[in-house]
Every structure is written in C-alpha cells, then in structure tokens.
Amino acid sequence: MKLDIQLDADRVAAGQELTGHVLMLEGGPARSLTLTVSFCERSPGYLSAPFSRSGVLYEGDLVTGQADEFRYEMPDWAPPGVKGKHGELFWELEAVSDEPGLDTRARRVFEVTASLDRSYPG
C-alpha cells in the first residue's frame, strides 16, 4: 500500500478551507482511510500535538488510482507555523490506511497564514 497527500494550495489562511486529495498510489485490503489535521510542537527532545482532529474519508479496500477528496475548515484561531533555533510549531496532515498488520501512513506539512478577515473589538 502506498499513499500520497496532494493539496490544492500549500497555504491556507486561518478560518479558511484546506482542500485536496489523498491518492492511492498502490491499493490493497483496508478497513478505512482516516485523515488527521494536527498543530504540532517539536524540539530536539520533544514532539506534541496540542490540537488534532480526525475524520474517516473512506471505508473499505483501497484501489490503486483512487483519489479521496477532503475539505477542512481551519479554526479561526489557527496560528502560523514558526521555526526557531531550538524548536518549531507547524501544521500537518496525516493519512492512515487501517489495514491488517502495520498501517500505511503519509504525512504532509502545510502553511497557515494569518486570517485577513479578523475583526478586533474596539
């Protein structure tokens, strides 16, 4: 089994919709295909995902050439990623094929930009 995540755009603004497809480069027997959107924090000795949301895209065996579309509305509060000398904050998609034995996974980091539609009280 082999998966790939393709985005319609590599950047999305907070509060906007992230869209794309999970492609089956090599299919096979599976129970489901799940996509998870996560905000991650990483340093040399630490990895955490303080925000994560998952959903099932497809149930059943996966066929070579199959493309499952996804749409996910980013939270209004979604911060942009930051990379520094000692760590980074970033957004990531992970597609997981739940199959007999070891699951197949594909990951894709994407960029979140500040929303242009934010209104502040005042």
Considering the domain boundaries, does residue 40 fall inside one? Answer: yes
Please state the domain count of the chain.
Answer: 1
Q: What is the DSSP letter of 116?
A: S
> Given this model, what pLDDT does residue 75 score?
92
SS3 18: strand
> Given this model, what pLDDT does residue 3 score?
97
Is residue 24 within 8 A of residue 106, CB to CB? The reply is no
Considering the domain boundaries, does residue 122 fall inside one? Answer: no
Q: What is the DSSP string of 26-90?
A: E-B--SEEEEEEEEEEEETTEEEEEEEEEEEEEES-B-TT-EEEEEEEPPTTPPPPEE-SS-EEE
CATH number of the domain bearing residue 98: 2.60.40.640
Structure tokens at 24: 């089956």
The CA-based diameter of the chain, rounded to the nearest angstrom, is 56
Domain region containing 99: 2-112
pLDDT over threshold 70, residue 117? no
> Given this model, what pLDDT does residue 62 score?
95
Considering the domain boundaries, does residue 17 fall inside one? Answer: yes
Q: Please state whether 107 falls in left (phi above 0), alpha (psi between -120 and 50) or beta.
A: beta
Considering the domain boundaries, does residue 119 fall inside one? Answer: no
pLDDT over threshold 90, residue 61? yes
Instruction: Give the tens place of pLDDT for each residue, 9-58.
Output: 989 999 999 999 999 999 999 999 999 999 999 988 888 888 899 999 99
Instruction: Please tell me the pTM assigned to this model.
Output: 0.86
> Given this model, what pLDDT does residue 121 score?
44
Considering the domain boundaries, does residue 107 fall inside one? Answer: yes
